[in-house]
Amino acid sequence: MARFRFFLLGISLIPGSLLAATPAAAALLHDYSFDNASTDSVGGMNATLEGGATVSSGGLVLNGSSAYAQISGFAIPRSDFSITFDATIAAYSNGIVEMVSQGYSGGPGFYIGLAGGEFRLGDSLAGIPVATPSLNVSHAYELISDASGTQFFIDGTEVYSSSIAVTAPQTGTETRVGTQFGTYSEYFDGTISNLAIYSGQPTVPEPASASLLGAGLAGLALLRRRKAV
């Protein structure tokens, strides 16, 4: 799937003069395909595989007890960023696990994780009322945070928003995939793939006036922002 959450179908039906100008696209800072390696194909912040983590068929395979990927730097900007990735949960208990993390507790620390059957989005928001999806099924995730607040998407649908922006400390533990920062043993059991980190938020092409588009709205579709696989 393409890493663009918004796309116009049948755009030839809509006159170009009716489309508002769009801002510049968010800058892709780091890209981890986990395609037989843990390299960053964009920013050069490669990851090392720790605790028995492996890569297979374009995915980072994690065992829920010791495995994670340690990125060689603070890949997530402190503020105004977006993160996209795919994940398959293989097993889950009522304990706390993290998919991505950075910083230190109280920093406020940054993480996207799970606890008690619900998601957690960093120390700033902690637990949010969004239930974990089905086991052994791949789902697409996206978190966007800027001055206006935070949005969280699963499979292209916004499932949570807040006026509070999450931040990612630039000290403490460098970015990890599959566990929490520091010495917390919060290991994810499953597979994570197509991890991408952006500065800024995704570009959204919008009509200048919805009332002017008329039937052209039939060609407007919302698709999840993801990388081709």
- Is residue 205's pLDDT more than 80? no
* Residue 125, SS3 per DSSP: helix
The answer to whether the CB of 203 falls within 8 A of the CB of 24 is yes
Average of per-residue pLDDT values in the chain: 82
Any idea which residue has 């928001």 for tokens?
125
* Residue 201, SS3 per DSSP: coil
Higher pLDDT, 215 or 145: 145
> What local confidence, expressed as pLDDT, does residue 207 receive?
42
Q: What's the fold here for domain 26-202?
A: Jelly Rolls (2.60.120)
> What local confidence, expressed as pLDDT, does residue 2 receive?
40
- Is residue 42's pLDDT more than 70? yes
Residue 9 φ/ψ, nearest 5 degrees: -100, 140
Please state, in angstroms and as integers, the Cα–Cα distance from residue 87 to each residue in 13, 22, 144, following that order: 36, 30, 17
Both tokens assigned to 117: 């059957």
Q: Beta strand 189-199 with 59-63: parallel, antiparallel or unpaired?
A: antiparallel
pLDDT digits (tens, 9 = 90+) for 90-136: 998 668 999 999 999 999 999 999 998 899 999 999 889 999 888 99
- Is residue 171's pLDDT more than 70? yes
- The DSSP symbol for 16 reads G
The mean per-residue pLDDT over the stretch 2-10 comes to 39
> What local confidence, expressed as pLDDT, does residue 25 receive?
59
DSSP 136-150: T-EEEEEEEEETTEE
Query: What residue segments make up the domains of the chain, in order of their start?
Result: 26-202
The mean per-residue pLDDT over the stretch 15-30 comes to 58
Burial 202-222 (b: 16+ CB within 10 A, else e): beeeebeeeeebeebeeebee
Q: What is the largest CA-CA distance in the chain?
A: 57
The mean per-residue pLDDT over the stretch 214-226 comes to 42
Query: Is this model's pTM higher than 0.95 or not?
Result: no
- Is residue 7's pLDDT more than 70? no
- Is residue 38's pLDDT more than 50? yes
Higher pLDDT, 14 or 168: 168
> What local confidence, expressed as pLDDT, does residue 20 receive?
38
With a pLDDT cut of 90, the percent of the chain lying above it is 68
Residues facing residue 114 across a β-bridge: 97, 119
* Residue 153, SS3 per DSSP: strand
